[in-house]
Every structure is written in structure tokens, then in C-alpha cells.
Amino acid sequence: MILAVIAVFNVNAILKLDEVSDDAIDVTVIGQQWWWEFRYDTDDDGVVDIITASQLVMPAGRDVRLQIQSRDVIHSFWIPALNGKKDAVPGRTHPLVLEAAEPGIYQGQCTEFCGLSHGVMRMQVKVLPPEEYDVWIDAMTTPPEQPTDELAKAGQDVFVQQCTSCHQVNGLEPGAEAPYGYARLPNPDYGEDVGSTLASKNAPNLTHLMMRDTFAGSLLDLYEGSSDFVETTVGSAEAVPSGEPAVNNLKRWLRNPEDVKPMNPENNQGMPDLGLSEQQIDELVAYLVTLK
Ligand SMILES: [Cu+2]
């Protein structure tokens, strides 16, 4: 009898967990060794118009329906403050609904052992007030401005030569020639199209790199003084990050990514050391910080 009474409340609550409102937002989440990708179709026309990494962005007070997938091994998506865990399994799509009442930055961690850098495969959910979320969508669907200073322009040339074989900046392809143009749409099949040698055929889309607060699987900050993001901070969050770009973190990454996090580039997992000169690194970083 007692169990029957408890079951009424229990079953009710369990059914509600999967309920979503009509204005829910759909986001595809893809686990990779060792970072998370997020894809949005903001105008619901069946075409992906935003591809970003490390940080899932959503508005407060609205359901977000995640479709969780993987491109390599089994990962598990978990934002403890927002919902339970859900496995990311190659060849399958698992749904999970998130809803956050309060703006803030919510921390998460991959919770299924997925190889070398599993322990540092982090992610964040940035929850924005609804009007700030619109600002974010606007920024993410507007091409970044072309670099104007000489150092950044030189960096863009190096980027086309050395980086576009793995990373997309919407509109820049390997062998592209100046003056470069940025297309508005990201390409979900970019890796396949450029013949990427990566095991997952995929690297983070960098078109709006500086719109995130962290990079490299949320291991390093993209802005100075934002290290308080290591813990979930509820209360406020900005659509467009402000502050000084953490150029030293970007330089560290480009000098040798494997120094920052364990990867297996010999097996085409992760980003290899490209043997860049300090001059090239300065140029590349001057370019990367324009990607906003
Ligand atoms: Cu993982």
C-alpha cells in the first residue's frame, strides 16, 4: 500500500522529467576526444547555423532539448546542477532536457572513461537572461570582422596554410586566397570535405572562438581573470565575454598542445605540435583574438 502511494508521485515526477515545452530549443551535442561540440539550428529550417565548442549557451527559463551523440568512443554528458548524466554513444542519439531558472555558468565533466584526457574533458553551460541570449545568437550568426592590423592579417595567412586542414572558420578553406571572405554558415561535414586526417574527422569550429570563455575542453580560460569559472557561478553571465584576451594561454596551446592536455596526435587524436615559430604564434594569436 505504502509503495503504491509513493509510486503515484514517483511515476508522475519521472514522466515530467521528459516533458518539454513548445518553445524548446534543440541543440545537438557531440562528444569527441576530448571536447564537446554544440550545434544549433536557430531558425528551425533544418540547416545548422551555429557550431561551437566547450560551452553550451542557453536562455534562462526555457527548455533545451539536447540530442547527444559521439564521433569516437563512449562519453557521458553531465552538468550536475542541471540534470542527470546521459551517455554519448557512437551511432546513437540520446535525448536529454535541460532547464535553468537562473543565469550563470554551470560546470560539467565527462563522466565515462574515454581515454587519455578524460579527466580534463570539461564543459560548461552558460545560461543567459533571454534578451542576452538573443544578443548571443545575433553575434554567432554574424561573420566576425576581417582583421585590419598587419600582425593579425599575417596570422590569417598562416591560419589558412596550417590550420584549415582541421579547423573551420566559416568561409576559409584550405588554399583560400586573400582577400578572404567569411561565409555565415558553418559546415557540419567540414572535416570530411577537406579530407581531415583526424580520427574523428573533426576539430572545433573557430569562427567565433572569442565568444566562448574557455577553450581546449574548458581547460584554459580565453579571458584574463575569469578563473572563478572553475566553480559554478549562478547570478549573471554575459553574452559577449568582456576583458583582456588571455593571449598567454593561447600561445601556450600553440607552442605545444600536448603540454596543456594529454593527447595522442600520433594516432590522429587531438591537436599535434605544428612546430610553429614564435613569430607565427604571435601572428596567429593576433588573428585568433579577432574571431568574435
Ligand atoms: Cu569523454
Note the pLDDT tens digit of each residue in 87-119. 999 999 999 999 999 999 999 999 999 999 999
Q: How far is CA 118 from CA 67, 88, 190, 210, in A?
A: 21, 13, 25, 24
Residue 261, pLDDT score: 93
For ligand 1, the distance from its centroid to the CA atom of residue 51, given in whole angstroms, is 19
For ligand 1, the distance from its centroid to the CA atom of residue 32, given in whole angstroms, is 7
Find the helix or strand (DSSP H, E) in which 134 lies. helix 130-140
For ligand 1, the distance from its centroid to the CA atom of residue 3, given in whole angstroms, is 38
For ligand 1, the distance from its centroid to the CA atom of residue 94, given in whole angstroms, is 15
For ligand 1, the distance from its centroid to the CA atom of residue 26, given in whole angstroms, is 22
For ligand 1, the distance from its centroid to the CA atom of residue 115, given in whole angstroms, is 7
Residues in CB range of 106: below 8 A, 6 or more apart: 79, 81, 82, 100, 124, 125, 126, 127, 232, 234
Tell me the pairing of strands 64-70 and 25-32: parallel
The average pLDDT across 209-238 equals: 87
Please report the domains of the chain, with CATH numbers, ordered by start residue: 23-140 (2.60.40.420), 150-288 (1.10.760)
Residue 228, pLDDT score: 55
Residue 229 binned pLDDT confidence (cut-offs 50, 70, 90): low
For ligand 1, the distance from its centroid to the CA atom of residue 114, given in whole angstroms, is 5
- Alpha-carbon distance 223 to 230, whole Å? 13
For ligand 1, the distance from its centroid to the CA atom of residue 69, given in whole angstroms, is 11
In this model, does residue 232 exceed pLDDT 90? no
Q: How far is CA 119 from CA 22, 190, 263, in A?
A: 37, 28, 12
Residues in CB range of 165: below 8 A, 6 or more apart: 174, 194, 195, 196, 197
For ligand 1, the distance from its centroid to the CA atom of residue 280, given in whole angstroms, is 31
**Grid cell at residue 85:** 548524466
Residue 231, pLDDT score: 80
For ligand 1, the distance from its centroid to the CA atom of residue 204, given in whole angstroms, is 15
For ligand 1, the distance from its centroid to the CA atom of residue 148, given in whole angstroms, is 38
Residue length, the chain?
Answer: 292
Residues in CB range of 88: below 8 A, 6 or more apart: 29, 30, 31, 68, 69, 70, 74, 75, 76, 77, 94, 112
The average pLDDT across 179-204 equals: 95
The average pLDDT across 274-288 equals: 98
The reported pTM is 0.94
Cα angle at 23 between 10 and 142, to 5 degrees? 135
The closest alpha carbon to 257, from 205, 203, 210, 208, belongs to 203
The single-letter DSSP state of residue 269 is B
- Percentage of residues in the chain having pLDDT higher than 70: 98
Cα angle at 60 between 12 and 74, to 5 degrees? 70
